[in-house]
């Protein structure tokens, strides 16, 4: 959580303020998260190339929902990287459609979400002067895939002029969609944030080698939680520094040992909250990605492939923050099966069949 009553000329605080305003503007709209196959099939429908039933109708209704202000179809960093598997006109057409249906609204990057969620978990006491992860969640394309600001030369610009220059840059780029940045995005040099290398071979090898380490699904899930905590160690350190500075008023650099001890305490707390099955809706990224990995390992005949890392991140964005998640069949089964039941935990309706997706959108269109 972020304190509401802090004021500063810091430009990133200005960006954060715009995210908060964006979150307020969509608070009464339904968020529908689409997986890659849905975006591709809708792009084909938009280009008059669809051979699948229902997608022409889905596109028509989706546009009506966006135009009426009832819905939006957000993107996130993991989906953006998956979309980059396309190229040429296919990529351009997909990005243009995303700009339209998302209304230029994105779920914030992986690192940001993890740290917001950690703070929500650690600062659970009610406080009207705090913003939660959900309130800070929403952003715009530039700020999940490039996220860099120019720094004017201090020899020629006063602090106020530097701030004004950066503020204008932020305001200008806040309004730009993915299509505007397509040349930079395709080249890849300007992309920031999380990376998603193919780790499927490593996961399949580990699945085969470690079957003796658990006798129940909960044990297997806890093994995954341990690994997931390791992947966010830097985020936990950042949060430990933040909490330390806020509580003492001193820079964390002078309290290195205390910060390390605090990080270890947080890691143990996270593990135990999952061990005791008391996480509820807190720490959704750790909960959902670990659960999906565990479910894949629990099924002996299923193998990981290169798409699963994207699928699990999509689930970690959609389930806690969107009302609906249109996904492919296997992922729908994984997250809704009795072992996990994430759709019920997070109150998100997960749908695989296009006919059912169309029915949901038509119902939303009829709602007043």
Name the residue with higher pLDDT: 267 or 133: 267
Report the percent of the chain where pLDDT is more than 70. 88
CA angle 163, 177, 322 (to 5 degrees): 100
Check pLDDT > 80 for residue 2. Answer: no
Mean pLDDT of 347-359: 97
pLDDT, residue 253, reads 54
Mean pLDDT of 304-333: 96
pLDDT, residue 249, reads 64
Name the residue with higher pLDDT: 60 or 83: 60
The residue among 225, 145, 149, 233 whose CA lies nearest residue 190 is 145
- In this structure, are 236 and 171 located in the same domain? no
Check pLDDT > 80 for residue 204. Answer: yes
Dist. CA 243–CA 264, nearest whole Å: 14
Say if CB 252 and CB 195 are below 8 A apart. Answer: no
Check pLDDT > 80 for residue 9. Answer: no
Say if CB 336 and CB 343 are below 8 A apart. Answer: yes
DSSP assignments along 92-150, one per residue: HHHHHHHHHHHTT-EEPPHHHHHHHHHHHHH--S--TTEE-HHHH-EE-THHHHT----
- In this structure, are 175 and 84 located in the same domain? yes
pLDDT, residue 128, reads 52
Check pLDDT > 60 for residue 8. Answer: no
Instruction: Please state, in angstroms and as integers, the Cα–Cα distance from residue 325 to each residue in 34, 97, 347, following that order.
Output: 6, 18, 11
User: Among the three residues 160, 195, 230, which one is the final residue of a domain in this structure?
Assistant: 195
Q: What is the CA radius of gyration of the chain?
A: 21
Lowest mean pLDDT among 79-93, 102-116, 299-313, 329-343: 79-93
- In this structure, are 226 and 301 located in the same domain? yes
Check pLDDT > 60 for residue 35. Answer: yes
User: If you average pLDDT over every residue of the chain, what do you get?
Assistant: 88
Residue 1: which pLDDT band, with cuts at 50, 70 and 90?
A: very low
- In this structure, are 143 and 15 located in the same domain? yes
Lowest mean pLDDT among 196-205, 270-279, 309-318: 196-205
pLDDT, residue 192, reads 61
The count of structural domains within the chain is 2
Please enumerate in sequence order all residues whose Cβ is within 8 A of that of 20, keeping only pairs 6 or more positions apart, or say none: 131, 135, 136
Reading phi first (left if > 0) and then psi (alpha if -120 to 50, else beta), residue 30 is in beta
- In this structure, are 46 and 191 located in the same domain? yes
- Residue 364 domain flag: no
- Residue 158 domain flag: yes
Lowest mean pLDDT among 35-44, 138-147, 322-331: 138-147
Model confidence over 171-190: pLDDT tens digits?
Answer: 999 999 988 876 665 555 55
Check pLDDT > 90 for residue 316. Answer: yes
- Residue 317 domain flag: yes
- In this structure, are 149 and 135 located in the same domain? yes
- Residue 58 domain flag: no
Say if CB 316 and CB 285 are below 8 A apart. Answer: yes
pLDDT, residue 179, reads 87
pLDDT, residue 7, reads 37
Check pLDDT > 70 for residue 147. Answer: yes
Name the residue with higher pLDDT: 127 or 44: 44
Instruction: Tell me which residue range forms the domain holding 313.
Output: 200-351
- In this structure, are 185 and 215 located in the same domain? no
- In this structure, are 178 and 207 located in the same domain? no
Check pLDDT > 90 for residue 146. Answer: no
H or E element in which residue 351 lies:
strand 349-351
Check pLDDT > 70 for residue 193. Answer: no
- In this structure, are 159 and 264 located in the same domain? no
pLDDT, residue 257, reads 55
- In this structure, are 270 and 187 located in the same domain? no
Check pLDDT > 50 for residue 3. Answer: no
Dist. CA 47–CA 41, nearest whole Å: 10
- In this structure, are 219 and 123 located in the same domain? no
Mean pLDDT of 74-95: 90
User: Among the three residues 161, 178, 195, which one is the final residue of a domain in this structure?
Assistant: 195
- Residue 32 domain flag: yes
* Contacts for 198-202: CB closer than 8 Å, 24+ residues apart: 198/306, 198/309, 199/304, 199/309, 200/303, 200/304, 200/305, 200/306, 200/308, 200/309
Say if CB 34 and CB 72 are below 8 A apart. Answer: no
- Residue 60 domain flag: no
- Residue 118 domain flag: yes
- Residue 359 domain flag: no
Please enumerate in sequence order all residues whose Cβ is within 8 A of that of 366, keeping only pairs 6 or more positions apart, or say none: none
User: Among the three residues 195, 212, 233, which one is the final residue of a domain in this structure?
Assistant: 195
* Contacts for 248-257: CB closer than 8 Å, 24+ residues apart: none
Instruction: Please state, in angstroms and as integers, the Cα–Cα distance from residue 208 to each residue in 199, 229, 333, following that order.
Output: 15, 22, 22
- In this structure, are 204 and 184 located in the same domain? no
pLDDT, residue 127, reads 55
Model confidence over 218-270: pLDDT tens digits?
Answer: 999 999 999 999 999 999 999 888 887 776 666 555 555 566 678 899 999 99
């Amino acid at each position: 959580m972020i304190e509401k009553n802090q004021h500063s000329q810091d430009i990133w605080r200005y960006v954060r303020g715009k995210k908060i305003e964006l979150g307020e503007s969509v608070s009464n709209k339904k968020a529908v998260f689409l997986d890659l196959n849905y975006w591709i099939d809708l792009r084909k429908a938009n280009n008059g190339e669809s051979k699948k039933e229902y997608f022409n109708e889905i596109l028509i209704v989706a546009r009506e929902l966006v135009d009426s202000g009832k819905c939006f179809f957000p993107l996130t960093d993991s989906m953006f990287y998956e979309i980059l598997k396309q190229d040429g006109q296919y990529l351009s057409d997909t990005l243009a459609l995303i700009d339209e249906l998302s209304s230029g609204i994105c779920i914030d990057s992986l690192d940001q979400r993890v740290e917001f969620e950690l703070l929500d978990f650690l600062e659970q006491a009610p406080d009207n002067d705090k913003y939660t992860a959900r309130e800070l969640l929403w952003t715009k394309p530039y700020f999940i895939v490039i996220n860099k600001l120019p720094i004017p030369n201090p020899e020629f610009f006063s602090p106020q002029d530097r701030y004004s220059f950066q503020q204008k840059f932020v305001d200008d780029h806040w309004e730009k969609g993915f299509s505007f940045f397509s040349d930079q995005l395709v080249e890849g040099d300007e992309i920031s944030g999380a990376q998603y290398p193919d780790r499927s071979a490593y996961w399949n090898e580990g699945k085969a080698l470690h079957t003796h380490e658990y006798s129940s699904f909960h044990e297997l899930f806890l093994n995954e939680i341990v690994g997931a905590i390791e992947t966010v160690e830097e985020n936990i350190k950042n949060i430990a520094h933040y909490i330390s500075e806020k509580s003492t008023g001193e820079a964390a650099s002078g309290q290195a040992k205390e910060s390390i001890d605090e990080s270890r305490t947080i890691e143990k707390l996270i593990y135990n909250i999952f061990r005791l099955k008391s996480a509820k809706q807190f720490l959704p990224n750790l909960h959902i990605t670990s659960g999906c990995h565990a479910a894949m390992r629990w099924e002996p005949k299923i193998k990981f492939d290169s798409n699963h890392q994207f699928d699990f991140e999509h689930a970690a964005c959609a389930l806690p923050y969107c009302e609906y998640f249109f996904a492919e069949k296997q992922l729908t089964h994984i997250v809704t099966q009795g072992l996990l039941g994430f759709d019920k935990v997070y109150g998100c309706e997960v749908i695989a069949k296009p006919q059912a997706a169309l029915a949901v959108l038509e119902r939303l269109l009829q709602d007043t």
